[in-house]
Amino acid sequence: MSAVLKGNRPDLPSLAPMREQDLDEVMTIESAIYTHPWTRGNFADSLRAGYECRVLRLGDELLGYFVLMVAAGEAHLLNLSIAAGHQRSGHGSGLLGEAMGLARSQGARSLFLEVRPSNSAAQALYTRFGFRKIAVRRGYYPAHAGREDALVLNLPLA
């Protein structure tokens, strides 16, 4: 599993706040890995709203990012993404661990997220971290043919 560092070892990935200047690279990854990607405006709105947005870089290269909203003792992971060429190297786990720690440090007792039933890779990751399905939102996501449900997953952070 990859370590996520905040130090300055150039050979290890490092985490930093996402900024407006990151959004071109973020959008390159986002557009490549999702059938229905977030728009640049979705990321810009998240930054403006003060959500916890982080980027993971190895040197200059963007490996991935997450967007986390924390409020009223609950956290919602709104986006977690790893560039296609860097998946399955532990970076998603590293970012998820960071998001959980950040949520906890801001007083969240519970972390929620939505995932497509068709997204078995993400579900496998979340299951490994102990997330449990608590609800289904019918027709939540746009899909190629009509809409797709969302599974709502939860992880207690206590």
Burial of residue 76, with CB atoms counted within 10 A of its CB: 0-12 exposed, 13-18 middle, 19 or more buried: middle
State yes or no: residue 37 binds ligand COA (CB under 6 A): no
Length of the chain, in residues: 158
Cα-Cα-Cα-Cα dihedral sign, residues 149, 52, 98, 132? negative
Instruction: Please tell me the distance from the alpha carbon of residue 153 to that of residue 111, in angstroms, as a whole number.
Output: 8
Among 58, 125, 143, 157, indicate the residue that binds ligand COA (CB under 6 A): 125
Rounded CA-CA distance 10/15 in Å is 12
Residue of 128, 132, 137, 147 that binds ligand COA (CB under 6 A) = 128
CA 100 to chain centre: 11
Contacts with ligand COA in 55-74 (CB under 6 A)? none
φ and ψ at residue 73, rounded to 5 degrees = 75, 10
Contacting residue, 4, 75, 80, 155, with ligand COA by CB under 6 A: 80
CB-nearer residue toward ligand COA: 107 or 139: 139
Output 17 or 117, the one with its CB closest to ligand COA.
Answer: 117
Tell me the window of 18-26, 51-59, 75-83, 103-111 that interacts with ligand COA (CB under 6 A).
Answer: 75-83
Q: Which stretch binds ligand COA (CB under 6 A): 6-14, 17-25, 44-52, 118-126?
A: 118-126
Query: Are the CB atoms for 98 and 67 separated by under 8 Å?
Result: no
Residues that bind ligand COA (CB under 6 A): 33, 80-82, 87-93, 115, 119, 121-122, 124-125, 128
